[in-house]
Amino acid sequence: MRFSTTGPLALLTSLLAHNVSAASNMVPDYEVKLLMNATAVLDPTKSYKLKPSVLSAFSMPTTVTKMNVQFLDTNTKQIYNAGWSPRIRKTEGESGFELTYKKRYPVSGSDINAALTTANSEGFDSTDTDWDAQIEWGYSQKTLSISRKKSATKSGYSGMDLPNTSDSRSMLIDKAPGTFEDWGGVNNWGTDLLDVSRIYGPVLAKRSIGTWSGIEVYIEVWPIKDVAGTGIEYIVEASFKTGSVSVAGTKSGDLQTFLEGQGWFLAGDSLKTGLIMDRY
């Protein structure tokens, strides 16, 4: 027997078929990122380290963790312009390199679900357990980032060294996840672009870890080439992670108020990757 193609039964059949095939949206965590005023919080006479008053307010030790970071892209930034950022990072004290393939989706206003639904329609859903969804929660803008981490090692490098162009390309190509490799349904899209990519960076950032109001807070200092390309602009970012959208909302407001009270706040969104892609 065949079902009628119209009427309530057909509608029900179609709804059931849809629900079986459509996986739910990814569930993100939240990383609140607020900028701090570099002039107010760094000491230029002490190699632009965080001032003792800042360390003390966040119960931070004087020791920092260094992170050396670079991105790969073509000269015309075809990868970045498609919303992707392939990154290589060397973290002090960790062996090997951390490779990250990150896809960004802008969040319009506070409509996080719409961004997750867009990502779902492009192939990122709750069944993609190797990928992490995160809402980067800034001062005025939120961004959904979906990322996958891999690790790689290569002989000939030590300390905080990052791999040269040829080794960076081959590492990121070897470990490329299929979603990045064949993005947009184009065979080898990502890996073909990596094959002709160059390095954007490196930037050697320093992270301090402390606590504030019961939450773990990071403060990172990123020395990025300035607009003129002749000096350094220090980007200072305070951040914390949470799995809860309501904690992200209340604690980001509290932290902003605290930073404002100290004269340490800088109104603006932290767009470090964008600055690195523009200035290197």
Ligand X SMILES: *[C@@H]1O[C@H](CO)[C@@H](O)[C@H](O)[C@H]1NC(C)=O
For ligand X, give the closer residue by CB, 86 or 163: 163
User: Which among 80-88, 127-135, 156-164, 224-232 is the span making contact with ligand X, rule CB under 6 A?
Assistant: 156-164
Question: Taking CB under 6 A as the rule, does residue 256 contact ligand X?
Answer: no
**Which tokens go with 144?**
């959904």
Contact positions with ligand X (CB under 6 A) in 7-66:
37, 39-40
CB of 77 to ligand X, least distance (A): 22
Which one of 167, 182, 192, 233 is in contact with ligand X (CB under 6 A)? 167
Residues 6+ apart with CB under 8 A from 130: 148, 177
Q: Find out whether 268 and 35 touch, Cβ atoms under 8 Å.
A: yes
Question: How many other CB atoms are found less than 10 A from the CB of residue 37?
Answer: 16
**Which tokens go with 190?**
């990502």
Question: Taking CB under 6 A as the rule, does residue 159 contact ligand X?
Answer: no
| Distance separating alpha carbons of residues 119 and 125, to the nearest angstrom | 7
Question: Taking CB under 6 A as the rule, does residue 126 contact ligand X?
Answer: no
CB of 97 to ligand X, least distance (A): 12
CB of 144 to ligand X, least distance (A): 28
Question: Taking CB under 6 A as the rule, does residue 244 contact ligand X?
Answer: no
Tokens 């490098």 found at: 157
| Distance separating alpha carbons of residues 249 and 266, to the nearest angstrom | 18
| Distance separating alpha carbons of residues 18 and 20, to the nearest angstrom | 5
For ligand X, give the closer residue by CB, 19 or 158: 158
> Which residues contact ligand X (rule: CB under 6 A)?
37, 39-40, 156-157, 164, 166-167, 263, 266
